[in-house]
Every structure is written in structure tokens, then in C-alpha cells.
């Protein structure tokens, strides 16, 4: 469908200060899509919003990028002149290809990121729930899901742990495995902190958020089984939790051995801050395991190299599945003409039968069967030729010829 388009920004062309301003919560995304549906002639829409990207995919006969940026600007209360330069537009096949690459993790900051596939699935479910997913988007998304399955089975694009946040979560999982009712505290909710939070599961541990701006923690905790604590209560949070992850911006360490208190200690401390927010004296505390961002980064390098080698194979799968999708799309574009041709021939058939009123019921039933069989045989070749023309990119020419030969547009109007 030539009307499929995309508009968005990502970590590649927009700083975090811009990305966080146009990030949509699930509730905001739903409201925005409804506004979009009401204000424009949008047939289908998909809004993907993560900490690294906000992208809108939509189907419309008209180019409406500027108007949509204005709507985003109004919805988020941001002057449009501060946003427009960061948005990149995609048209037709480039929009489909880009969505493939995004969903498979080829465009992710963490190559092969597994989370993005789940985020795209949730966005698609929301579009379906809002009746903003039609035949084109349904087919495209299921083709992408199949491509993702092939990438998992046929390549190493998603093998290993390739982000600091996911390495941190792996460490946490191993540490809390044998702890009854484990408790995890996340201090700092910037981009890195939010990445960690996206990977953490509140089903495995009780999660507490601590942020200098408490309202941000409150917002991230809405609708989730997550606690929020005041930054002034940091000492108590450290004492109460088995795992402390710090991703806070600071010039000097804010967590040291003095914060741990007295008595037996068994804690995992993960410092994702640069400069470091945890004092190195914590390394000498019995029962404490301390990791910094450099140590976690070392663990990701091997996985990244393996994933980079998988890029050509993953891109090959994208192109193969795009070909299948494009073939389906082309056939969908000529299906109305095929149906009009069937209707026109069937109208002729019924008019001719109606002229022979003296036939018995048995004779009429026999003629119904014979004439319908003839129509099927007559239409078979044009349908095959149309599908072949789709593959050659020449469908428009043959559609025009059939319209002229059988006056299909006029026949359709008369039928109505």
C-alpha cells in the first residue's frame, strides 16, 4: 500500500533531552492514537515509543508529516520548532523496511535487543485494540514476527548479553535466586536506570525506585507492582534491600561502607554511574559484591562481536520476507479489480439466464452450474496475468486495460 508511511526520531538523530520529552507512556500512546484517528484520515497507525525512539507508522493517502509533528507538539506541550528538525520521514517500502529493522533489533542501540521486539508487539496490540490495525498492518506485523523467529533460529543476532543493563539484570538474577523474597532498589532513573527497570521483573523481586525527582519515580511506578522511596531515605533503602543498582548522576560517591550499617551483610551492589556513585571502600566489606560499569561492559564485548557477524544474515532475512510481503501487497492492490471483473461477468451471466424464462427448474439449475463454471474458466487467465504483472511491477497497465475492456468502473456504479 503506497499510503504506508513512518515518522520518528531515535538515539541516532535526537539527544536524550529531546527523546524523553516526546516519549509516550502506554496510556498517552492510546490517547494520542485516538486523537490522530479523529483529526486526520488515518486508516492504520502504530506508535512505538521507548527510551531510545518514538516512531509513528501510519497509513494515509496523504502526506501528513508536518501536521502530525504539530499534533505531537501540542500533545506534549513542546514548541514544534524545537522538534521538527529531529524527525525523519519514511515513505512506502522504506517505512516497511525500517519497521522490520527496528523490530528485529538491527536499529537498536544494543544490537539485536530482545526488548524492542516485545515493545513493538505491545504497540501492535494497542493499535489492534483501538481498531487502528487493518489488513496491511496485520499482514506486515505477522510477517515481521515470522522474520524475527527466523532471525532467532538462523542467526546469532540475539545471542549472548550485549548491554550493560541486561548484564546487570543477569547478575541480579543469579544473586537473588536463593534469596527468599528478594528486594531490589534502583537509584537514579535516567536513561540507563530506565533501561535496567525495563529488564527487571517485579515477579522475581520486590522493586523500590529512588530518584532525586520523586515524581518521575512515581510516574514510572504507575500501574506496576513497584515501590517508591524518598531520596532522603537512601540509607534506609540500602539497609533494607539485597541488591542496590545505582545509575545516578553525581560528582562524588554517594554510597560508601558507612551507609551499610552494622552486622552481617549479604548484598550485591552495581554501580552504573559515570563518575562512580559507589565508593571503592565497599570492595573490602565482607559479604558485599561490587561491580562497576567497566566490569559489566567487558562482559558485553564478546556478545557484540558475535552479533555484528550476524548482521548480513539478518538483513538477508529482512529482504526475503519483504519480498513476500510486497508480493502480497501487490496482489491486494489488484484484488478489487479482480472482484469487479468477476462481478461484471457474473452480471452478464445472470442477465442472459433471465432472458430464458421458459426453462424448467431442472434446466435452470443445470445452466447455473454450467455458466458459473464457464465464468471461472474465462476469468482464470486474466487473474493469472494480473498476478504476473504484479511481480513485474506492471499491474497498473493491465488494470487499466481490463477497466477499459469491461467498463468496470461504470459497472460498479450501476451495481450500487
Residues annotated as part of the active site: 51
Residue 259 DSSP code: G
Q: Which residues of 187-222 are buried (b: 16+ CB within 10 A; e: fewer)?
A: bbbbebbbbbbbbbeeeebbbbbbbeeeebbeebbe
Q: What is the DSSP string of 367-407?
A: HHHHHHHHHHHHHHHHHHHHHHHHHHT-HHHHHHHHHHHHT
CA separation (Å) from 24 to 30, 84, 123, 180, 202?
A: 9, 17, 11, 35, 22
- Helix axis angle for 135-154 and 311-354, nearest 10°, is 140
Contact call for residues 44 and 59 (beta carbons, < 8 A):
yes
CA separation (Å) from 104 to 108, 110, 150, 152, 175?
A: 9, 11, 10, 9, 30
Q: How far is CA 163 from the centre of its chain?
A: 19
292: β partners: 271
Strands 243-246 and 226-229: unpaired
Q: Give the Cα separation of 175 and 177 in Å (integer).
A: 6
Amino acid at each position: 500500500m503506497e499510503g504506508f508511511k513512518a515518522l520518528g526520531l531515535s538515539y541516532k538523530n535526537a539527544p536524550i533531552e529531546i527523546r524523553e520529552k516526546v516519549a509516550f507512556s502506554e496510556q498517552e500512546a492510546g490517547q494520542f492514537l485516538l486523537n490522530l484517528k479523529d483529526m486526520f484520515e488515518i486508516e492504520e497507525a502504530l506508535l512505538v515509543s521507548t527510551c531510545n525512539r518514538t516512531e509513528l507508522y501510519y497509513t494515509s493517502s496523504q502526506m501528513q508529516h508536518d501536521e502530525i509533528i504539530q499534533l505531537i507538539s501540542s500533545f506534549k506541550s513542546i514548541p514544534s520548532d524545537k522538534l521538527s528538525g529531529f524527525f525523519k520521514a519514511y515513505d512506502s517500502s522504506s517505512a516497511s523496511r525500517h519497521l522490520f529493522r527496528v523490530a528485529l533489533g538491527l536499529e537498536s542501540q544494543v544490537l539485536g535487543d530482545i526488548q524492542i521486539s516485545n515493545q513493538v508487539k505491545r504497540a501492535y496490540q494497542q493499535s489492534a485494540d483501538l481498531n487502528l490495525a487493518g489488513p496491511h498492518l496485520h499482514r506486515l506485523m505477522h510477517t515481521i514476527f515470522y522474520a524475527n523467529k527466523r532471525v532467532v533460529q538462523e542467526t546469532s543476532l540475539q545471542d549472548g548479553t550485549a548491554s550493560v543493563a541486561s548484564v546487570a539484570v543477569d547478575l541480579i538474577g543469579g544473586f537473588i535466586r536463593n534469596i527468599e523474597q528478594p528486594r531490589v532498589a534502583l537509584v537514579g532513573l535516567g536513561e540507563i536506570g530506565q533501561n535496567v527497570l525495563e529488564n527487571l521483573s517485579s515477579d522475581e523481586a520486590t522493586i523500590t525506585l529512588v530518584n532525586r525527582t520523586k515524581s518521575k519515580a512515581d510516574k514510572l511506578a504507575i500501574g506496576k507492582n513497584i515501590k517508591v522511596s524518598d531520596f532522603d531515605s537512601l540509607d534506609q533503602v540500602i539497609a533494607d534491600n539485597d541488591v542496590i543498582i545505582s545509575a545516578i548522576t553525581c560528582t562524588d560517591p554517594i554510597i560508601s561502607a558507612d551507609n551499610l550499617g552494622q552486622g552481617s551483610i549479604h548484598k550485591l551492589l552495581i554501580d552504573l554511574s559515570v563518575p562512580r556513585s559507589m565508593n571503592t571502600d565497599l570492595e573490602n566489606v565482607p559479604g558485599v559484591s561490587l561491580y562497576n560499569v567497566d566490569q559489566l561492559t567487558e562482559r558485553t564485548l564478546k556478545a557484540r562481536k558475535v552479533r555484528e557477524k550476524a548482521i548480513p544474515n539478518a538483513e538477508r532475512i529482512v529482504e526475503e520476507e519483504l519480498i513476500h510481503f510486497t508480493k502480497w501487497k501487490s496482489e491486494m492492490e489488484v484484488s478489487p479489480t479482480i472482484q469487479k471483473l468477476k462481478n461484471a461477468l457474473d452480471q452478464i451471466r445472470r442477465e442472459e439466464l433471465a432472458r430464458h424464462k421458459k426453462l424448467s427448474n431442472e434446466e435452470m439449475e443445470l445452466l447455473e452450474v454450467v455458466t458459473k463454471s464457464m465464468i471461472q474458466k474465462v476469468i482464470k487467465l486474466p487473474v493469472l496475468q494480473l498476478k504476473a504483472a504484479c511481480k513485474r511491477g506492471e499491474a497498473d497497465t493491465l488494470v487499466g486495460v481490463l477497466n477499459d475492456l469491461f467498463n468496470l468502473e461504470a459497472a460498479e456504479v450501476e451495481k450500487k
